[in-house]
């Protein structure tokens, strides 16, 4: 940035009295630019201020009723899926398990939640075996069909079961994004499926720092 030197404002120049104002304006611009440069640069999509995805009312895999308030003070990663999923769900949970390793001691300030969109098959017993297998700190959440639909609707999650095969097996198409909340319980980021563990961990560190 070019700052006028003293010769540009001779003592006899009638515009000289305006110099303090000009300098104040320039300083103000510099401070504003510095403030903007300090804004967090997340890898995931920043959805801070979203008026949806504010809470849930489900039971964890031990049968305890849970809501978002139970995890206040931690960054929360919320993912919708089902235990019979052949690819997307285990891949995503494995990535989140790797995120926990990358975070080191900070992982104790993070809670990963897995919400089943297949409550007909995903019993609490099955969730208790499946979800913590990726990391013992992970928690599976479930509800009846109505509760599942309500939570999915509030988080703008799509899911639909495909027709079963001759053996009664079926797939469930569903949204594969992960939602990140800050320790204050505010929905902040939308992570697309396939994002690297390193980039997710970097975003979570920023949330833990209060960014």
- CA-nearest of 109, 95, 102, 104 to 178 is 95
- CA-nearest of 118, 200, 121, 202 to 157 is 118
pLDDT of 55 reads 95
pLDDT tens digits along 134-160: 999 999 999 999 999 999 999 999 999
Domains in the chain, CATH or no CATH each? 6-37 (no CATH), 45-208 (3.40.30.10)
Measured CA to CA, the distance from residue 77 to residue 79 in angstroms comes to: 7
pLDDT of 40 reads 72
As a whole number of Å, the CA-based R_g of the chain is 25
Measured CA to CA, the distance from residue 75 to residue 89 in angstroms comes to: 20
pLDDT tens digits along 41-92: 999 999 999 999 999 999 999 999 999 999 999 999 999 999 999 999 999 9
156: left (phi over 0), alpha (psi -120 to 50) or beta: left
């Amino acid at each position: 940035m070019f700052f006028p030197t003293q010769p540009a404002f001779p003592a006899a120049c009638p515009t000289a009295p305006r110099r303090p104002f000009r300098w104040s304006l320039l300083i103000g611009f510099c401070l504003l630019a510095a403030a903007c440069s300090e804004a967090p640069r997340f890898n995931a999509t920043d959805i801070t201020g979203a008026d949806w995805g504010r809470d849930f009312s489900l039971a964890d895999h031990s049968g305890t009723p849970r809501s978002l308030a139970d995890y206040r003070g931690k960054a929360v990663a919320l993912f919708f899926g089902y235990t019979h999923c052949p690819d997307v769900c285990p891949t995503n949970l494995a990535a989140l398990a790797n995120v926990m390793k990358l975070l080191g001691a900070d992982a104790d300030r993070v809670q990963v939640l897995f919400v089943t969109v297949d409550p007909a098959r995903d019993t609490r017993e099955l969730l208790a075996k499946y979800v913590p297998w990726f990391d013992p700190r992970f928690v599976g959440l479930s509800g009846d069909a109505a509760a599942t639909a309500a939570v999915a609707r509030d988080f703008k999650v799509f899911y639909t079961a495909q027709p079963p095969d001759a053996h009664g097996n079926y797939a469930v198409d569903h949204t594969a994004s992960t939602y990140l909340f800050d320790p204050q319980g505010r929905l902040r980021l939308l992570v697309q499926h396939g994002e690297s563990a390193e980039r997710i961990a970097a975003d979570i560190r920023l949330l833990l720092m209060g960014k």
